[in-house]
Amino acid sequence: MDYLLFVISVLIVIAVIVGFHEFGHFVAAKWSGVHVLKFKIGFGKELFSRPDKNGTDFSIGILPLGGYIQMLGEHDFPDYKKIPNPEKLKTYSEASLKEQAIIAFAGPFANLILAVLAFSLVFMIGVKDLAPLVGHVQKGSLAEEYGLQTGSKILEVDGYKINSFTDINTRLASRMGESGTIDIKYIHNESYKSTSIEINDWLNDSSQISPINQLGISPFRPPIIESVVEGSAASEMGLFAGDKITSVNEIEILTQEDLIQEISSRPEEEVQFVIERDGVALSKIWVIPSVNVDGKIKGRLGIYFIPISKLPNALIIEITHNPITALAKGTERTIEYTLLILDSIKKLIFGQVSTDNIGGPIQIAQLSGSAAKAGLVPFITFLAIMSINLGLINLLPIPVLDGGRLVLIGIEKVKGSELSEAFIEYSYRIGVFLILGLSIFAIFNDISRTI
């Protein structure tokens, strides 16, 4: 079942973002009066094909991993002679440079529009996130060094207001590859505090470490039991769903990570627990059984914690907007991610962050599947981010991409005459070489992550 969900989610993401991209080109071409011969989503054998009254053939290929529109006069087209009265139709080459530029830009622009719509839908459905409260603080981490503590509520990062824990991660991610300070304002025990964390080439060579983990914090999740494994130590102790473990050997337990750390470090030890049940504190003494985890002996209690959806209301941020406000919020979120991705691309180009961060189809597939399993809102959010990525990547000044086409149009405008076919052909060859090289490198990174 997971495999089926995985495949379906990948196909949906690719088909939707590519389809919307090509639809942008299609609309711009029609607006410019250029005749569109074919609009196809996917490659290979056609599963569906139907011409409209204007002579445009709409089709779906067996592999929905891309798509294209074919404009009259853009390239050789085998069915050109089947078109009635082709001399009365406007070709791509007859379009003005301005019209050609609009057609080229319309695809990436459509991806940004899709992102706005997707984010707007997310805000209408309702955004549920963890409150910006610091949970477990890793020993020896930057967070511990600069004074962040469990229970601290983050208010601002580098001057940006923080509303949720995701906001913290987003703002930290924007500093990847940089040096200087990360300025954080927060509240702890009702006292307003601030700290400036010194960074040097922040996350420059880290492709798999999230910014919050690098900082050394996790969200605040109390150690409340969701269920108990039958036959486990927790079951024999008499622990129940809803119990909250508040101390281990008189060490205060505030978060799930605190409990995991204490239990795993005490195999075969007799431990005194304090459990809160229905507002009443109970004390239990039990020997923690040991398990072998990857060759290491660790203690294990045998419990599952409550999921994020069941955390107390004070630890959850949930916001729902009406359609008008949601559209404004969706536009704002799209701009935020667009700037973040552009900044990341710039840092990749100038070597401020590692090229290990470049992902290919395998990583996209893995992330699509994970987002789909997480729920509708995470999946729509992922689709929006991937749409922005596709739009911005297509604007790179590489021949065969929309950005490369815009560069060629610009050169022709400055030159004042058409570019030679040889120049265009060699430009496209270089573009294909660059795209293939980048694709191979991205796939190599994907494979390296899985082995």
Q: Catalytic residue numbers? A: 22
E strand or H helix that includes residue 438:
helix 421-450
Is residue 193 within 8 Å of residue 183, measured between CB atoms? Answer: no
43's tokens: 């490659």
Dihedral (CA of 233, 234, 239, 243) sign: positive
Q: CA dist 416 to 263, 411, 432, Å?
A: 74, 8, 27
Is residue 222 within 8 Å of residue 254, measured between CB atoms? Answer: yes
Is residue 137 within 8 Å of residue 216, measured between CB atoms? Answer: yes
Dihedral (CA of 345, 349, 354, 356) sign: positive
Q: Which of 78, 83, 43, 91 is nearest to 64 (CA)?
A: 43
Q: Indicate the residue type of 132.
A: P
Task: Give the separation between CA 153 and CA 188, rounded to whole angstroms.
Answer: 7
Is residue 118 within 8 Å of residue 387, measured between CB atoms? Answer: yes
Is residue 42 within 8 Å of residue 60, measured between CB atoms? Answer: yes
Q: CA dist 38 to 49, 67, 77, 375, Å?
A: 10, 10, 10, 35
E strand or H helix that includes residue 370:
helix 361-374
Token look-up 């025990």 returns 189
CB atoms within 10 A of CB 401: 20
E strand or H helix that includes residue 112:
helix 97-125
Q: Which of 40, 88, 82 is nearest to 64 (CA)?
A: 40
Full 3-state SS string of 234-289? HHHHCCCCCCEEEEECCEECCCHHHHHHHHHCCCCCEEEEEEEECCEEEEEEEECC
428's tokens: 């496209």
DSSP 376-391: HHHHHHHHHHHHHHHH
Task: Give the separation between CA 404 and CA 42, rounded to whole angstroms.
Answer: 22
